[in-house]
Amino acid sequence: MDAVEGKECTAEGDGLTGFTAQQVPTSFTIVAAGSGGARLTTGGGSFKVSVRGQAAVKEQIADNGDGTYTVSLTYPQSGRYEVSISHKHAPIRGSPFTVQVHAARRPPAPPPPRLSADRLRLEWDAPSHTGGTPIKTYRVRAMARSLGGGDPTLVSELTGDVLSCEVPERFRGADRASALYHAFTVSAENSKGESDQSEPGPQPRLFDRARIEAERDAMEALHNSLASNGPVPIGALVSAVGEDTAVRSAAAAAPSAPEVAASVMGRLRAAAAMTDEAEAVLAHQGDGMGAVAEEASMALSSADLTAAMEQAEAVARLLHVWDVATEADGGGCITCAEYAASAAADPAIGRALAALPTLRVAIDQLTQSHAGDLAVREAARLKDKATAEAESEAAMSAAVSRWAEEDAALDAEHRARAEEVEARVSAAKAETEARIGEADAQALR
């Protein structure tokens, strides 16, 4: 075999560098290397492993014949151990290793589930460690909001070697958009118990705040530059924003991300138009109303701009939910109920809606009215289906009757033709027999 360089060899595995539990068989792997760290692919190395710690540890080394060596061992007690690995008295890289052995425990929660490429399966990764004993079971649950309330519902239970399951049939139809937006959790169970549930998944495309923050910074800087003498008139700020290169640069840097400057300016233009109208009305009334009209001319403080930006960001987030939910539905349309469920699943949206109670009430009302609409539409769909089935059955019965009548007519025609042929054959036979008789009589004369 090639010469093994102890200082170039490495080792890794749960029994050495991962989560290790007491009284649970574990292992790690030594990888042999030669000069310069070149990986060796043949066996025959003379490695030695020694363990010192809370109690004596018996280890076994198996030569795999491919340059790797499996070390099997069991730590009898929890606590700190030191594992030394060498080849012909030369320590390998990283030796001695410090191993912290734990009491066996429940596994941590797995990462949130995700959608497969074909969008028909949920997939997830194993927890960061097993808790010291093998994972026996994975459980997939549907979030309560996806099912109209109540506790999370178990939709699939799988063995510990399975890391995917089919998307439940109930979530493949019209409700798919909201169902696949933070709709499922996964838990793992070993002999010590079941883990916490994962964070909800599939995780949608994240909301990108970069453009919003850039626009906010640019607009605040512009406002501050105009506010040296006090609050800034709305019209002045709107005009300045339209000409400001920093705001345009922020938009150009992320053209596909949500933008709020246009939304804020649109709201401010509307406010300015309303105050201009009020000012004109007050000025027209005269008798000291000019001063009131002047006060009605709106100006914008920093706090006003911040509030306008926060509202615009809330709207941008709500539009983002719509984009993501329709993506989950294959780019199609979604219902009000699906949209509301998707929005409610996003904590940031929940906070935004809490600050906008009127919008929250509007979405709730849309959801409630649409729920009734869905029931009516479903009843109408079932009625149409039953009618179509009845009409189809009636049409089939009529067709069968028509086919039977046609068959009977064909049978009668066939019988008539057969009788006609039979009569012709009988007549020809009689005529032939008569001629033969005449010929016999003439021959006898």
**Does 3.40.190.10 match the CATH number of domain 6-102?**
no
CATH for 114-194, among 3.30.1370, 1.10.530, 2.60.40, 3.30.310? 2.60.40
Please state, as a whole number, how many other Cβ atoms lie within 10 Å of the Cβ of residue 428.
10
Residues 6+ apart with CB under 8 A from 302: 220, 223, 224, 227
Handedness of CA 78, 82, 84, 85 (dihedral sign): positive
Global pTM value = 0.49
Q: Is residue 278 very low, low, confident or very high in pLDDT (cuts 50, 70, 90)?
A: low
The answer to whether 6-102 and 114-194 have equal CATH topology is yes
The whole-angstrom separation of Cα 102 and Cα 3 is: 37
Domain ranges of the chain: 6-102, 114-194, 210-335, 356-445
CA distances for 106 relative to 100, 131, 170, angstroms? 17, 5, 31
Q: b/e string for 346-355 if b means 16 or more Cβ within 10 A?
A: beebeebbee
Instruction: Tell me the residue length of the chain.
Output: 445
For 341-367, what is each residue's pLDDT tens digit?
666 666 667 676 676 666 666 666 655
For residue 80, the SS3 value is strand
The whole-angstrom separation of Cα 318 and Cα 361 is: 14
CA distances for 383 relative to 173, 378, 393, angstroms? 19, 9, 15
E strand residue ranges, 67-163 = 68-73, 79-87, 90-91, 97-102, 114-115, 121-123, 137-142, 153-159
- Does residue 114 carry a pLDDT above 50? yes
Q: Is residue 303 very low, low, confident or very high in pLDDT (cuts 50, 70, 90)?
A: confident
- Does residue 292 carry a pLDDT above 50? no
